[in-house]
């Protein structure tokens, strides 16, 4: 309500409140429902919380959030960030050598897909920056410290839970060939409290943002010609 409107006759502030939306929690995520009738979140996401329980989501602190528009379809963007096909073509001199072939896709209940992979080193850091690695998170299962869990929560969020950091992308279509992408990078609170966190985290953030704004942007905006070249010689099943 505009300032001083309460002085006008016949104005009841309670009649002009904020628009209300239903909301529900799933693990450490809060989901807002824009539709008049919210869906059953437990039925929709199913095992989502259980699958990601080895990682201490409650300890995560959002450190940086960036938004950027891309000249590509939003589904293609999420596809690129949630598979291994593009590594050899987009990051041949940076992180491709770190990644091994991923494990088989996990069988899950819910509208999400997830796949685990065991890289040879810290998945987000360049080989030259491995000495900047932050402490491992206190994961509930040792296997969680051995790799990264990549998840696509349908329809428009993809995320990666690693041994030392967590990031996610939200894709918002703006048209058939244009989308807005929001990227959030998180670290455990114990790492954020370290005296040298700002310096060490730069190795993570600069690389994540660099991929976000440079290499992957060029590739996804040049589809479908790049997509055909990238996936043809590789078994992506």
Label each residue of the chain as H, E or C: CCCCHHHCCCCCHHHHCCCCCEEEEECCEEEEECCCCCCCHHHHHCCHHHHCCCCCHHHEEEEEEEEEEECCCHHHHHHHHCCCCCHHHHCCCCCHHHCCCCCCCCCCCCCEEEEEECCCCCCCCCHHHHHHCCCCCCCCCHHHHHCEEEEEECCCEEEEECCCCEEEEEEEEEECCEEEEEEEEEEEHHHHCCCCHHHHHHHHHHHHHHHHHHHHHHHHHCCCHHHHHHHCCCCCC
pLDDT at residue 210 in the model = 59
Structure confidence at residue 83 (pLDDT): 63
In the chain, pLDDT over 70 holds for what percent of residues? 81
What residues does CATH 3.90.380.10 cover in the chain? Answer: 56-231
Mean pLDDT, range 100-106, rounded to an integer: 82
Q: H helices of the chain, where?
A: 41-45, 48-51, 74-81, 87-90, 189-192, 197-210, 216-221, 225-231
Q: Residues 173-207: pLDDT tens digits?
A: 999 989 999 999 999 999 999 999 999 999 888 87
pLDDT mean across residues, the chain: 81
> Which CATH code of 3.40.50.150, 3.30.1360.40, 3.90.380.10, 3.40.50.80 fits the domain covering 56-231?
3.90.380.10
pLDDT in tens, 29-58: 888 888 888 889 888 999 999 999 999 999
pLDDT single digits (tens) 128-181 = 889 999 999 998 888 888 888 889 998 899 999 999 999 899 999 999 989 999
């Amino acid at each position: 309500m505009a300032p001083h409107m309460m002085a006008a006759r016949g104005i009841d502030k309670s009649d002009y409140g904020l628009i209300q939306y239903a909301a529900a929690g799933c693990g450490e995520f809060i989901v807002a429902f824009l539709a008049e009738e919210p869906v059953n979140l437990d039925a929709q996401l199913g095992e989502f919380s259980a699958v990601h329980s080895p990682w201490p989501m409650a300890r995560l602190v959002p450190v940086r959030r960036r938004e950027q528009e891309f000249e590509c379809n939003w589904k293609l963007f999420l596809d690129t960030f949630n598979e291994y096909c593009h590594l050899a073509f987009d990051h041949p001199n940076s992180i491709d050598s770190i990644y091994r072939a991923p494990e088989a896709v996990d069988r899950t209940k819910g509208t999400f897909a997830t796949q685990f992979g065991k890289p040879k080193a810290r998945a987000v850091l360049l080989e030259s920056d491995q000495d900047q690695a932050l402490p491992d998170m206190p994961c509930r299962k040792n296997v969680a410290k051995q790799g990264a869990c990549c998840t696509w929560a349908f329809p428009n969020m993809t995320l990666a839970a690693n041994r030392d950091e967590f990031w996610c992308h939200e894709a918002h279509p703006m048209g058939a060939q244009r989308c807005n992408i929001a990227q959030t990078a998180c670290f455990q609170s114990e790492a954020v409290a370290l005296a040298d966190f700002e310096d060490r985290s730069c190795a993570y953030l600069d690389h994540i943002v660099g991929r976000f704004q440079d290499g992957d942007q060029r590739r996804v905006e040049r589809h479908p010609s790049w997509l055909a070249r990238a996936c043809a010689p590789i078994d992506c099943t």
